[in-house]
């Protein structure tokens, strides 16, 4: 059985840890509120812009003028993995790494064997997880979440877009956590490039066969500006989703850690009281035994 001093030291250590996890939970809760507000405001705009993007892509495909919709044989692939810069968020970052591995093994095994799958990470933890697995990470964007804005994210989108239109990559995929609620994050794997017509967009297109846009000043200029912006917004939305998911995951993890520390403290205090009572009983027995021995010697 551990000594009283050892148990006391463990109680002090666990109490300090519990205070830290409780503080981290409160900080995560405050950040989550702001991140949740940001993604809730962004979703309707991003969804509507994505719908317009799909329709514009369909309109321009006929003329062959949309370079972001070009379908090519998939030889070289870029996977953009969005994680966080910090840990202590449960399985938040690990799940992204597992999703990336699953994506590569299921869809790009031959390209991976040929060394034609590259990775770009947003978040330090994604970089660390993929490099440990021996994957080729060409670049990583860290510190993005310290001052999260469209300008801090668009560089990653622009890199992927430029390399795709140059013909270097034939496919670009996004892997990130979508925020559902505090306790639930959904892993999303989306095709970023080339632009694909989603099932819901196809349904809307069928229902609005005669859909027509009025272009001002002209169709070419608007398409040239709108499609790249929509693609950058898509990446920005994914980062906002991941940011909200991170704070939700950290809040949940710290809440569980605080509860676990509380349970451990109960066990340690019970052990301490039992050890203390045993020590007192032993001292009493020694005193009684000594008194009896003294009395017998007289």
pLDDT in tens, 154-205: 999 999 999 999 999 999 999 999 999 888 999 999 999 998 765 444 444 4
In this prediction, residue 201 carries a pLDDT of 44
CB under 8 Å to 29, separation ≥6 — which residues? 247, 251
Check pLDDT > 70 for residue 132: yes
What are the residue boundaries of the structural domains of the chain, listed by start? 4-19+255-296, 28-253
Q: Which of 29-38, 57-66, 67-76 has the lowest mean pLDDT?
A: 57-66
pLDDT in tens, 217-274: 777 777 778 889 889 999 999 999 999 999 999 999 999 999 999 999 999 999 888 8
Q: Please say whether the beta carbons of 144 and 51 come within 8 A.
A: no
pLDDT in tens, 115-129: 999 999 999 999 999
What SS3 state is found at 123?
coil
CA gap 220, 64 in Å, rounded: 12
- In the numeric block, which tokens belong to residue 261? 């520390």
Give 77's strand partners. 117, 171
Confidence of residue 113 (pLDDT cuts 50, 70, 90): very high
Check pLDDT > 70 for residue 24: yes
CB under 8 Å to 283, separation ≥6 — which residues? none
Check pLDDT > 50 for residue 63: no
pLDDT in tens, 278-295: 888 888 888 888 878 777
Check pLDDT > 60 for residue 74: yes
Task: Compute CA 100 distance to the chain's CA centroid, rounded to the nearest angstrom.
Answer: 12
CA gap 294, 53 in Å, rounded: 99
In this prediction, residue 51 carries a pLDDT of 79
In this prediction, residue 278 carries a pLDDT of 83
In this prediction, residue 206 carries a pLDDT of 45
Task: Residue 292: count other Cβ atoms within 10 Å of its Cβ.
Answer: 10
pLDDT in tens, 88-106: 999 999 999 999 999 999 9
In this prediction, residue 197 carries a pLDDT of 64
Task: Residue 263: count other Cβ atoms within 10 Å of its Cβ.
Answer: 10
In this prediction, residue 26 carries a pLDDT of 95
Q: Please say whether the beta carbons of 163 and 78 come within 8 A.
A: yes
In this prediction, residue 198 carries a pLDDT of 58
The CATH number assigned to the domain with range 28-253 reads: 3.40.1380.10
| Arithmetic mean of pLDDT, 127-143 | 93
The class level of CATH for 4-19+255-296 reads mainly alpha
For 278, list phi and psi in degrees, rounded to 5: -65, -40
């Amino acid at each position: 059985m551990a000594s009283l001093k050892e148990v006391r030291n463990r109680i002090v250590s666990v109490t300090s840890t519990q205070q830290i996890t409780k503080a981290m939970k409160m900080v995560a809760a405050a950040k989550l509120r702001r991140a949740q507000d940001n993604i809730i405001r962004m979703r309707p705009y991003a969804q509507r812009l994505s719908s317009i993007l799909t329709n514009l892509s369909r309109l321009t495909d006929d003329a062959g003028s949309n370079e972001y919709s070009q379908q090519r044989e998939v030889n070289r692939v870029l996977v953009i993995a969005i994680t966080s810069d910090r840990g202590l968020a449960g399985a938040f970052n690990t799940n992204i790494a597992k999703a990336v591995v699953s994506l590569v093994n299921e869809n790009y095994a031959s390209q991976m064997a040929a060394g034609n799958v590259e990775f770009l990470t947003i978040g330090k933890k994604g970089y660390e997880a993929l490099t440990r697995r021996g994957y080729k990470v060409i670049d990583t964007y860290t510190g993005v979440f310290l001052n999260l804005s469209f300008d801090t994210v668009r560089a990653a989108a622009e890199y992927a877009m430029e390399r795709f239109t140059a013909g270097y990559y034939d496919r670009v995929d996004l892997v990130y956590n979508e925020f559902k609620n505090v306790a639930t994050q959904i892993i999303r794997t989306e095709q970023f490039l080339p632009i694909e017509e989603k099932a819901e967009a196809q349904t809307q297109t069928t229902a609005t066969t005669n859909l027509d846009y009025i272009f001002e000043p002209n169709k070419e200029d608007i398409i040239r500006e709108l499609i790249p912006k929509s693609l950058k917004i898509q990446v920005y939305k994914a980062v906002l989703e991941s940011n909200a998911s991170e704070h939700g995951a950290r809040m949940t993890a710290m809440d569980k850690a605080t509860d676990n520390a509380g349970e451990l403290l109960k066990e340690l205090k019970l052990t301490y009281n039992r050890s203390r009572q045993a020590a007192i009983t032993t001292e009493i027995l020694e005193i009684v035994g000594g008194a009896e021995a003294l009395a017998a010697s007289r």
